[in-house]
Structure 1
Amino acid sequence: MEKTLAYKPQSAWESYADARQHKNMEALAVRYIDFLTRCKTERETVDYVRERLTRAGYSEGFGADTGNGRVLRPLRGKALFAARRGSQPLVEGLALIAAHADTPRLDFKQRPLIEQPGVAQAKTHYYGGIRKYQWLARALALHGVIIRENGESLTVNIGEKPGDPVFCIADLLPHLAQKQSDQTISEAFDAEKLNIILAHSPKQAKGGKKDRDAPKDPVKEQLLDILHKKYGINEEDLITAELQAVPAGPARFVGFDKALVGGYGQDDRICVFTALEALLSAESGARNMAVIFWDKEEIGSDGATGAASRFFQYCVEDLVRAWAPGTPAPHVLLHSRALSADVQAALDPDFQEVHEKQNAAQLGYGPCFSKFTGSCGKYGASEADAEFFGELRCLYNAKGIPWQTAELGKVDLGGGGTVALFLAAYGMRVIDLGPAVLSMHSPFELASVADLHATLEAYKAFLEA
């Protein structure tokens, strides 16, 4: 059949039309929903990845005697690098997929506990780009880690199991919100009022003592008693803790046709999941394959576990010492090729005017290339070269993998950053590739089952190419 001269994106649903493919897509989506439900923080995500890789024969440490050539290295429970040896000399570089495991949320402040009329609350500081009103009047769960004074670590996961209590931030009733209705969103929703309700019952004065002998903050003190009896912690332990409030409950299929997955944290855990599945299922071959999952992308990628750190560089240097002694590590970095695995904003059906439609991603049309990121004239961008983009285009066309391309919103209205520029700093070729997500950065994001499958196929083909 003669190829048409005009370009038209290919629907992933049309590409994967037969019943066997739909069955595989549904099975993958079921596993993905379980992953999203279990992994709501970067620590939980890294633990999941580490467990899966260990079961597949990956060993920690980069010694030369690592047998099957499968190694992994976690960093502080929040980032992880894994590599799989191929037959090519390491100096020819890695096929690398990089994603991030963090997602927008509410973090407890260092001294979180306060009492206000009728309730004890935790003060929060939001993490990443959120729309504050979306976090009000909804069930929240607490995840994280508390280090007791004796050094013991307590893992926190409250609000996910049947019978667990959940927590919430109260919203102002419409009868009293007339003034708020006339304010801008930034004025109406004050970050200092994102206070999470933790308790309501007061501690009673002992032995029938008079009111003047009652606790000063009876609800807070009752809460502290509960925390001490149940978890063996005190208020000072909360100062050094990492506690995150996230939406409670499981991820779910959405729609009568179950063609969408809805859940928290799909930016960017859908890319973590598909990159991991690609690494585990890719056929052994010439390419030296690697994945890295970073933290802190949502707040600029700084910090020891973010992409701006030297963690990736140190991993490659150790890999060279183990697998190719004498090879200059900068040559490996320079000759590597990478996919910055991050999601793209899907064309919003009810707010199409904020997109430039011809260059907007659509749900169900496969993973989306973002040739450049940044904003307002491509500032803060990493722009892929035509040769690398062209190679990937030819690869996916040859394999029948649907793909699309997009920018994030209209030129002077949108934009955003990814980890691509931190990889490009080494001189390697890199481009952003990930599925489109609707309601990005909300507590309940939406992704297409077809795009989930197509993204896995795209990542796997890249590693094997």
Structure 2
Amino acid sequence: MSSPLRFDRAHTDDLMSFLAASPSPYHAVANAAALLEEAGFRQVEETAAWDASAGGKYVLRGGAIVAWYVPEGAAAHTPFRIAGAHTDSPNLRVKPLPDSGAHGWRQIAVEVYGGTLLNTWLDRDLGLAGRISLRDGTHRLVNIDRALLRVPQLAVHLDRSANAEGLKLDRQKHMQPIWGLGDVEEGDLIRFVAEEAGVDAEDVTGWDLMPHAIEPPSYLGRDRELVAGPRMDNLLSVHAATAALAAVSGQPDADIPYIPVLAAFDHEENGSQSDTGADGPLLGSVLERSVFARGGTYEDRARAFAGTVCLSSDTGHAVHPNYAERHDPTHHPVANGGPILKVNVNMRYATDGSGRAVFAAACEKAGVPWQSFVSNNAMPCGTTIGPITAARHGIQTVDIGVAILSMHSARELCGADDPYLLANALASFLAG
């Protein structure tokens, strides 16, 4: 079956709205679920019995979502095609005892999450978002999207060496944002958040809150060929995979030879070891239950997994014009050059030659250009959910993504065409 291009620059417009509306992993999965609901998907509870019905379904767990589409008449041993991604981004997270301050300033105690570029959080107007947990066991999303917090940088007059020798930041002492003046009051922040959420502060028994830059995503450049925005690593991939799955589910069931899946995990930025991370049981549990709900046996499960392929989509490094020597001299991915195939023979990425062929075929069918990425041998290589997914579930996995600049900054940069080129490649792959 041919796979026509489904997305254009309008997809990038929608990505920018998705980024702005998703200041936390919990918002990201809620917004992804809403997009899938529009395409006819329905939520299923993990605590309920699953039936054999065809159609689109999804599971939410914390900051993770797994969604899949079962074509009418799909056999129990039908293999899966998985678009994998992660919902979390390096940032600052509010501590259990958040009320802090000194010398007449009221501050919020935060912990550094993941490998964030600390200096990019300085002197930015920050909001606060995430979720609060209530006494009755429910959760409430919170998004205070206005100038509330700020991490002020020390004036150059008091740090004359900052420009010449580089800014040195202590993660404990220098990253605590201010949010007002006066004496520190215990419970002040949570009372404020509860009021913003419209609940009684006494009912708030837990929270997962994080500052976010309130400056919205924007096109950049003379010809608007670039996009600047927060959390592209890795909500760009989450959005593309969600849009691709929704598009594939709209095709005739007879034209879908696999069961297409979206798997967007939390906690990739700190190792993926959680019940919502790629190193947890969530994906395997969902796939197995899908097989068994359709009357399958363990043999059917083994057959399905043996034929399954996952494209692990995460951002990668575009060649930096000011630091080209930090990149491999023969591999220079560029913005708007199409998605990248990420390779590391030490298995920091899961791609091998067979996986390259799968990705190349999907891009060729979609008419999408693509590029290769490999790290400079003298530089450490990052990793993704790809090797974890391959090892944990025994399924073929290929690492891909979009080349960006300023990775792990509070505000990153990509080509304006690359998001929809990635979405077209993922749709082609999921459609088989």
Structure-1 residue corresponding to 2:243:
277
Task: Find out whether 1:381 has 2:348 as its counterpart.
Answer: yes
Task: Find out whether 1:120 has 2:106 as its counterpart.
Answer: yes
Q: Deviations over 1:296-337 (max 9, x none)?
A: 001010111000001111101110111242253233222201
Q: How has the CA–CA distance of structure 1 residues 24 and 423 changed in structure 2, closer, same or farther, with 3 Å as cutoff?
A: closer
Distance 2:203 2:172 in 1: 24
Structure-1 residue corresponding to 2:156:
174
**Is the Cα contact below 8 Å between 1:141 and 1:246 reproduced in 2?**
yes
Q: How has the CA–CA distance of structure 1 residues 220 and 39 changed in structure 2, closer, same or farther, with 3 Å as cutoff?
A: same
Aligned Cα root-mean-square deviation (Å)? 2.6
Q: Deviations over 1:58-82 (max 9, x none)?
A: 123373353x42211111x311111
**Which among 26, 35, 50 is matched to residue 43 of structure 1?**
26
Task: Find out whether 1:265 has 2:231 as its counterpart.
Answer: yes
Distance 2:365 2:414 in 1: 25
**Is the Cα contact below 8 Å between 2:348 and 2:381 reproduced in 1?**
no
Structure-2 residue corresponding to 1:339:
311
**Which among 183, 190, 194 is matched to residue 175 of structure 2?**
194
Distance 1:148 1:139 in 2: 28
> Tell me, what secondary structure is at the counterpart of 2:288?
helix
Structure 2 letter corresponding to 1:192 = K
**Is the Cα contact below 8 Å between 2:77 and 2:296 reproduced in 1?**
no
Q: How has the CA–CA distance of structure 1 residues 179 and 405 changed in structure 2, closer, same or farther, with 3 Å as cutoff?
A: closer
> Tell me, what secondary structure is at the counterpart of 2:32?
helix
Distance 1:110 1:225 in 2: 10
Structure-2 residue corresponding to 1:210:
none
Cα deviation, residue 148, structure 1: 4.7
Q: Deviations over 1:202-236 (max 9, x none)?
A: 3xxxxxxxxxxxxxxx3547956973894566699
Structure-2 residue corresponding to 1:445:
412
Task: Find out whether 1:227 has 2:224 as its counterpart.
Answer: no
**Is the Cα contact below 8 Å between 2:147 and 2:214 reproduced in 1?**
no
Task: Find out whether 1:29 has 2:7 as its counterpart.
Answer: no
Q: Deviations over 1:172-230 (max 9, x none)?
A: 00011025557665x44443321111111x3xxxxxxxxxxxxxxx3547956973894
Structure 1 letter corresponding to 2:28 = T
Q: How has the CA–CA distance of structure 1 residues 154 and 54 changed in structure 2, closer, same or farther, with 3 Å as cutoff?
A: closer
> Tell me, what secondary structure is at the counterpart of 2:223?
coil
Gaps of 5+ in 1: 1-20, 203-217, 373-377
Q: How has the CA–CA distance of structure 1 residues 198 and 58 changed in structure 2, closer, same or farther, with 3 Å as cutoff?
A: same
Distance 1:221 1:424 in 2: 46
Identity %: 24
TM-score with structure 1 setting the length: 0.82
Q: Which moved more, 1:101-110 or 1:393-402?
A: 393-402
**Is the Cα contact below 8 Å between 1:148 and 1:233 reproduced in 2?**
no
Distance 2:98 2:189 in 1: 12
Distance 2:113 2:194 in 1: 30
Task: Find out whether 1:363 has 2:335 as its counterpart.
Answer: yes
Structure 2 letter corresponding to 1:306 = G
Gaps of 5+ in 2: none
**Is the Cα contact below 8 Å between 1:46 and 1:79 reproduced in 2?**
yes
Structure-2 residue corresponding to 1:74:
60
Distance 2:337 2:188 in 1: 50
Cα deviation, residue 129, structure 1: 0.7
Cα deviation, residue 55, structure 1: 2.5
Q: How has the CA–CA distance of structure 1 residues 254 and 182 changed in structure 2, closer, same or farther, with 3 Å as cutoff?
A: closer
Cα deviation, residue 27, structure 1: 1.4
Distance 2:7 2:82 in 1: 25
Structure-2 residue corresponding to 1:16:
none
Distance 2:364 2:352 in 1: 19
Distance 1:369 1:136 in 2: 33
Distance 2:430 2:141 in 1: 35
Distance 1:151 1:24 in 2: 40
Cα deviation, residue 152, structure 1: 6.3
**Is the Cα contact below 8 Å between 1:166 and 1:248 reproduced in 2?**
no
> Tell me, what secondary structure is at the counterpart of 1:268?
helix
Cα deviation, residue 140, structure 1: 0.8
Structure-1 residue corresponding to 2:88:
102
Structure-2 residue corresponding to 1:320:
291
Task: Find out whether 1:351 has 2:323 as its counterpart.
Answer: yes
Structure-2 residue corresponding to 1:246:
212
**Is the Cα contact below 8 Å between 1:96 and 1:337 reproduced in 2?**
yes
**Is the Cα contact below 8 Å between 1:133 and 1:189 reproduced in 2?**
no
Cα deviation, residue 359, structure 1: 1.5
